[in-house]
Amino acid sequence: MLVGAENASSMEACRLCPRGCAVNRAAGQRGVCGAPADLRVARAALHYWEEPPISGEDGSGTIFFAHCPLRCVYCQNADIALGEQGRPVSVERLAAIMGQLQEAGALNINCVTPTHYAPQIRQAVERARADGMALPVLWNTSGYETVEAIEANSGFVDGYLTDFKYVDGTLAAAYSHAADYCDVALAALEAMVETAGEPRYDEYRGQERLTGGVVVRHLLLPGALDNSKAVVKLLHERFGGSVRLSLMNQYTPVIARFAREGRAGARRALERYPQLAQTVPDDEYEALLDYADGLGVADYFWQEGGACEESFIPAFDFTGVDENC
Ligand code: SF4
């Protein structure tokens, strides 16, 4: 394994994500994601609000990493995406966290927003497995990944929980500063399916569990039903049953709270996109589900009302980071 060498070189001219900043993180420079060279973690704990075969009843072993390359203006986890909640963690400690999550009963190891720390996470997975960690490893990503990054995960990552946010490039540019999102995410998704295979399941401690393959999540945004329909159509036509879709209505306007609290970025974004202060109307979500049904999309995940509450956003309070999960 060359993960150690890979780690050093990727940090000296970072191109770990499609932003391709080429900054020297090892020398203290920061790119778009704002991440330093060393791992930062905000929370590591059992999490119960993923799709049923991911959370089960016992919970998903979820590790929330700090910082994010995409930095969507409406981000539901902005406290960690902006890096305000993240504590330094060694590779050895991350491997120990994975083992502790297994002991706590987790169905899997669920790495949330891992892209910018990928070499260290792969190193930790290798170490944890050598120490007896046998859970499936899931890569929970915005979908904005390079093909090279996905290929590098082969052998370390069993499955993907990946977003597919936009077909509409104007929306992608406005909300995520990534007009190329659709093309980039599509190429990455093809690499995920190629390397992780089709969704597969087992029974783990009496619960159905996803053990590998790709779940593609799409969050319906306020006033963006046409974009969502285009996403569903594209994914259905391109991938069919090779991925499992998860259509989500849990958009939570945390941006409105951030603006009220005086965060300048949130205030500016809301002035430009006031629709982001709203939740998604039930009838728009129903229209999206009807559209998926009409296309013949089979066996997708969907959400019941009430998911758009801040109580579903966990506390990024360093639970499980320094001490046992
Ligand atoms: S991981 Fe961060 S520093 Fe590296 S290319 Fe992406 S945004 Fe830039």
Cβ–ligand 1 distance for 19 under 6 Å, the answer yes
Q: Which residue among 6, 7, 14 is best mutated to probe the pocket of ligand 1, counting the most ligand atoms within 8 A of its Cβ?
A: 14
| Mean per-residue pLDDT, 67-91 | 86
Residue 283 contacts by C-beta under 8 Å, 6 or more apart in sequence? Answer: none
Q: pLDDT above 70 covers what percent of the chain?
A: 94
For the CA of 15, the closest atom of ligand 1 is 5
Residue nearest to atom 6 of ligand 1 (CA): 17
pLDDT of 2 above 70: no
**Residue entry with tokens 């899931």:** 138
Residue 6: what pLDDT?
Answer: 63
Q: Average pLDDT over the chain, rounded to whole?
A: 93
The secondary structure element, H or E, covering residue 161 is strand 159-163
- Residues 139 and 157 sit within 8 Å (Cβ to Cβ): yes
Eight-state DSSP code of residue 314: P
Cβ–ligand 1 distance for 118 under 6 Å, the answer no
pLDDT of 4 above 70: no
What are the structure tokens assigned to 323, written together? 């001490």
Cα separation, 144 vs 157, in Å, equals 17
Report the range out of 96-110, 255-269, 293-307 with the highest average pLDDT.
Answer: 96-110
Cβ–ligand 1 distance for 33 under 6 Å, the answer yes
Residue 17: what pLDDT?
Answer: 98
| Mean per-residue pLDDT, 140-163 | 98
pLDDT of 1 above 50: no
The answer to which of 112-116, 217-221, 258-262, 314-318 has the lowest mean pLDDT is 314-318
In the reported structure, the alpha carbon of residue 100 is separated from the centroid of ligand 1 by a whole-number distance in angstroms of 29
In the reported structure, the alpha carbon of residue 260 is separated from the centroid of ligand 1 by a whole-number distance in angstroms of 30
Cα separation, 220 vs 250, in Å, equals 8
Residue 178's SS3 state is coil
Cβ–ligand 1 distance for 21 under 6 Å, the answer yes
- Residue pLDDT, tens place only, 153-197: 999 999 999 999 999 999 999 999 999 999 999 999 999 999 999
Residue 217: what pLDDT?
Answer: 98
Alpha-carbon separation of residue 163 from 13, 30, 146, 217 (angstroms): 26, 25, 14, 5
Residue 110's SS3 state is strand
pLDDT of 306 above 70: no
Give the gyration radius of the chain's Cα atoms: 19
Cβ–ligand 1 distance for 320 under 6 Å, the answer no
The pTM is what? 0.94
Cα separation, 306 vs 284, in Å, equals 15
- Residue pLDDT, tens place only, 198-234: 999 999 999 999 999 999 999 999 999 999 999 999 9
**Residue entry with tokens 């944890």:** 128
Alpha-carbon separation of residue 39 from 68, 90, 118, 215 (angstroms): 12, 7, 10, 26
Report the range out of 206-215, 248-257, 297-306 with the highest average pLDDT.
Answer: 206-215
pLDDT of 236 above 70: yes
Cα separation, 304 vs 277, in Å, equals 21
